[in-house]
Amino acid sequence: MSRLTVPKTYKLYIGGKFPRSESGRTYEITTAKGVFLANASQASRKDARDAVVAARGAQSGWADATAYNRGQVLYRIAELLEGRHAQFVDELVSSEGITAAAARDQVDDAIDTWVWYAGWADKFVQVAGSGNPVSGPYFNLSVPEPTGVVAIVAPQGVAGSKPSSLLGLVSVLAPALVAGNTVVVIADQAHPLSAISLAEVLSTSDVPGGVVNILTGSPAEIAPWLAAHADVNAIDLTGADALDWVDLQIAAADTLKRVVEPEPGVPARSLDRILAFTETKTVWHTKALI
C-alpha cells in the first residue's frame, strides 16, 4: 500500500526561531527538472524588519564575546555541518541537479571555507590593526571593530550560472560573523534548501539567537527594504548582480551604509571580506613619564 507524501513547508529563521512569514505566503521549491520538492516561506518587508530587530538585539553580545570564543563557536558550526554532510549532499543533488560527486565537492568546500574563516577570528585584528608612529609621549593604536548589523544578498542560482547555493551562502555569511557582526541574509531564492538546513544547524549550535537571520523569498522584494533600513549598518550585494543594484546603493548611501558591490559567482576566501565589515577605532594613550 503506497503512502501519501507529506509536502514540507520550510520556515524562516529569525531570532533563533522558525516563524512562518507574517504574510502567510509560500513558494514552491522544485528540482532542476521542475519536479516539486517542498514549499518555502516567502519573506515580506515585515519579516525583514523583524530580522533586523533580532540582529540588533544580538549584536552587542556577539561583538563583546572574545575573539577566541567566536572562533570556537564558528568552528562548532563546521563540526555540525560535517555531521550532516550526507543530508546536504542529497539536498544539493535534488535541488541543483548536479552529480553526487559535485555535491560532495561543494559541501567539502563549504565546510573548509567555514573553518578557514573561523580560524581568522582571533588573528585578523593583529594583521589589520597597528601601532602608529606619533610625535609625542603617546601610544597610538588602530584596531578593527565590527560594523554592526549586516544585510546580505547571497549568491543566486540563475540560468546559465553554476549552482552553488551552500558554498555561496557560507562564503558571504562566515566572514561577516568573524568580526562580531550580526547578519540578515537573503538566501538563494531558487535553491533555498541548503540555507534552511544551515538554519537548523545554527539553531542547535552555540550561536546566540539573532546573530544569524535567514530569509527565503525574493531578493528583488526584500533587498530594497534592507538597503534603506536605518538600523542596518552595511549591506553585501554579492548576489544582487541581477537586481537594480545601483538603486540599492543609492538607498544604502542615504543611511551611510558600507556597501560591498555585486560580483558574479562565489567570492573567494579573503581577509578583505572580513575587513569589509569592520570599522577602525584609533586609541590614544599617554606614556608614563618616569
What's the grid cell of residue 209?
539567537
Cα 258 from Cα 117, distance rounded (Å): 21
Cα 178 from Cα 119, distance rounded (Å): 9
What's the burial of 9, exposed, middle or buried (CB within 10 Å: 0-12/13-18/19+)? exposed
Beta-bridge partners for 212:
183
* pLDDT of res. 142: 80
Looking up cell 570564543 gives 69
Q: Say if domain 15-286 classifies as CATH 3.30.360.10.
A: no
Cα 225 from Cα 219, distance rounded (Å): 10
DSSP codes of every residue in 105-144: HHHHHHHHHHHHHHHTTTTHHHHH-EEPP-SSSEEEEEEE
Closest CA to 189 of 37, 28, 21, 46: 28
The domain spans of the chain are 15-286
User: Tens-digit pLDDT profile for the chain (290 aa)?
Assistant: 677 777 778 999 999 999 999 999 999 999 888 889 999 999 999 999 999 999 999 999 999 999 999 999 999 999 999 999 999 999 999 999 899 999 999 999 999 999 999 999 999 988 887 777 777 777 777 888 999 999 999 999 754 456 689 999 999 999 999 999 999 999 999 999 999 999 999 999 999 999 999 999 999 999 999 999 999 999 999 999 889 889 999 999 999 999 999 988 899 999 999 999 999 888 877 776 55
